[in-house]
Chain A
């Protein structure tokens, strides 16, 4: 077979592998890790939309994740709204908060925006901690219903309490989110977004309404994070203010930087690698009796920025084709 037919087959082969993976693993713990990796794939890809393609450094991304989780959980517990609908509503409410955070982003950039977004997430975390009547504070919301079973013809129904079933749901959500990201990035919309990352003044000079685009991208990015959060709530069935913490955002940031900022595959690679690495580090932590996870993340981040700017994906590309020769006409 030539390279071209391989390229046509590869995505389908990959999909088939992903579908049979949990059946082959037969290990609930490993499948659980895959589900968590899937959640982080959506989180890091959505953060990458903002940071990688539009150049907006949002250090409050976990806030959108938490808002999605709390929204869907509360709707299900208090109002009995279907968790399936909750997934979408969690995304939509997060998108509204995305709009809210997008407004200061119109005037701020770089470190100023970064600090504002940290503050935004911190405020929401404190609200979740202290609005005990609604959120049960630091105890967290528990007793969140799982995704409701889907009745099948023949009296049976599809339930979503096992890790394997959750795996398939997050797989579908991941594929949908990644397909959306890919289409967005490669479209006219994506070109406009990337152009304002490179030069806002020039973008305005060709008719791009920089503010409208920034708000749109903040909302889109928040939507996908909220979706991941809502799924997490019904999977873990416990949401605590920790989901909104800055440490969560830095995990996402490290995943994207490690995988490759501003690429489609980078965040996916970073999310999977780091999710499994984090679990491996748990054993190390037991051994050294110290919380080393964030230290290692920090180290990875520094090393990536110093020696591997394009992340793992960039490294792979460099290996595959020699660097372009600059300065030729």
Chain B
């Protein structure tokens, strides 16, 4: 089943075309790797899909609904969650609060409903909060940082704050998870842990679009690859096919790569 489709998705920044008429589909349960040289438009594409920029033209369809121009928080409510290339955790909040921030069922509760619940707690509010905390702790256990639950997030080492970001994204109960370089800056052991976590998320039925430079990760987990260069999609297919595609090799190694072999 197709859960995400883009049609001629384009983003211009002034005269620069960062994403140029990209059309692709993503199917339920898939892990799709998004690769390409630096500046190819990968992060811009994720920013478009998660609602951080409005596209200049083209359409985004998520679960049969046209979501072009939706804001980030609206897309998140529909089931799109993401992580960031440079970690963006809530520094002054505790690790647990970071997950709690994401966990409130905002499909039902706006700010004023939460204000009402804070000042005049309805019956069972305490139990609801307890349940929320338990669910948050389960997510922290899932990514293996439960022992730091009461630490301010800024005290976490880099690798663990990346995992906190994943836990926080999962707390919003997504159907599609967009991961922007989840393995950058990790050492080999941390890398293996990260791969395991991503695979386990996928086993729960969450589709994943992942930007990655570490080949070990991308070849290991992706079902399909999409290759971008200069904002355009230059290849798409199974990992092995894409890797032997002369156009892709040229994009990565330069035009003379074949000649020199």
Do B90 and A201 touch (CB < 8 A)?
no
Q: How far is the CB of B206 from chain A (nearest CB, A)?
A: 15
Closest partner residue, chain A, to B148 (CB atom)? A329
Do A187 and B117 touch (CB < 8 A)?
yes
Do B77 and A187 touch (CB < 8 A)?
no
Q: Which of B100-108, B181-189, B236-244, B247-255 interfaces with chain A? A: B100-108
Chain B residues lying within 8 Å of A203, measured Cβ to Cβ, are 90, 101
Q: Interface size on B (CB < 8 Å)?
A: 43
Contact flags (1/0) for B53-93 with A, using CB distance below 8 Å? 00000000000000000011100110001101000111111
Q: How far is the CB of B106 from chain A (nearest CB, A)?
A: 5
Closest partner residue, chain A, to B107 (CB atom)? A207
A123 in contact (CB, < 8 A)? no
Do A192 and B90 touch (CB < 8 A)?
no
Do A207 and B73 touch (CB < 8 A)?
yes
- Chain A 183-200 residues near chain B, CB threshold 8 A: 183-184, 186-192, 194-195, 197-199
Q: Provided the pairs A202-B88, A207-B76, A209-B106 are in contact, do residues A188 and B71 lie with their beta carbons within 8 angstroms?
A: no
A184 to B98, CA, bound (A): 17
- Partner of B118 from the list A187, A206, A326 (CB cut-off 8 Å) is A187
Contact flags (1/0) for A306-329 with B, using CB distance below 8 Å? 000000000000000000101111
B172 in contact (CB, < 8 A)? yes
A204 in contact (CB, < 8 A)? yes
A191 to B171, CA, bound (A): 14
Do A199 and B90 touch (CB < 8 A)?
yes
Q: How far is the CB of A328 from chain B (nearest CB, A)?
A: 8
Number of contact residues on A: which range applies? 35 or more
- Chain B 164-187 residues near chain A, CB threshold 8 A: 168-169, 171-172
Do B90 and A194 touch (CB < 8 A)?
yes
A173 in contact (CB, < 8 A)? no
A192 to B115, CA, bound (A): 11
A220 to B111, CA, bound (A): 11
Q: How far is the CB of A105 from chain B (nearest CB, A)?
A: 14
A247 in contact (CB, < 8 A)? no
Chain B residues lying within 8 Å of A75, measured Cβ to Cβ, are none
B232 in contact (CB, < 8 A)? no
- Partner of B102 from the list A183, A189, A207 (CB cut-off 8 Å) is A207
Q: Provided the pairs A183-B119, A326-B155 are in contact, do residues A206 and B88 lie with their beta carbons within 8 angstroms?
A: no
Chain A residues lying within 8 Å of B73, measured Cβ to Cβ, are 204, 207-210
A208 to B103, CA, bound (A): 10
A215 to B110, CA, bound (A): 12
Closest partner residue, chain A, to B72 (CB atom)? A204
Q: How far is the CB of B145 from chain A (nearest CB, A)?
A: 10
Closest partner residue, chain B, to A194 (CB atom)? B93
Do B71 and A206 touch (CB < 8 A)?
no
Do B90 and A198 touch (CB < 8 A)?
yes
Q: How far is the CB of A2 from chain B (nearest CB, A)?
A: 23
A205 to B98, CA, bound (A): 12
- Chain A 56-115 residues near chain B, CB threshold 8 A: none
A216 in contact (CB, < 8 A)? yes
Closest partner residue, chain A, to B112 (CB atom)? A216
Chain B residues lying within 8 Å of A215, measured Cβ to Cβ, are 111
Q: Provided the pairs A198-B93, A201-B88 are in contact, do residues A191 and B115 lie with their beta carbons within 8 angstroms?
A: no
Q: How far is the CB of B166 from chain A (nearest CB, A)?
A: 12
A160 to B92, CA, bound (A): 44
A8 to B111, CA, bound (A): 32
A180 in contact (CB, < 8 A)? yes
Do B81 and A205 touch (CB < 8 A)?
yes
B52 in contact (CB, < 8 A)? yes
B137 in contact (CB, < 8 A)? no
Do A206 and B171 touch (CB < 8 A)?
yes
Do B76 and A191 touch (CB < 8 A)?
no
Do B111 and A216 touch (CB < 8 A)?
yes
Give 21 A-B contacts (CB < 8 Å), ordered by A residue.
A188-B104, A188-B114, A188-B132, A189-B114, A189-B117, A190-B118, A191-B100, A191-B101, A195-B90, A195-B101, A201-B72, A201-B84, A202-B168, A206-B81, A206-B168, A206-B169, A207-B172, A208-B106, A215-B111, A262-B92, A329-B157
- Sorted nearest first, the 9 A-B pairs with minimum C-beta distance are A187-B118, A206-B102, A189-B114, A207-B76, A204-B72, A198-B90, A202-B88, A216-B111, A195-B101
Known: A209-B73, A213-B111. 17 other contacts (CB 8 A): A183-B121, A188-B118, A188-B129, A189-B111, A191-B100, A195-B90, A201-B72, A201-B88, A202-B89, A204-B76, A207-B76, A207-B102, A208-B73, A208-B101, A216-B115, A327-B157, A329-B160
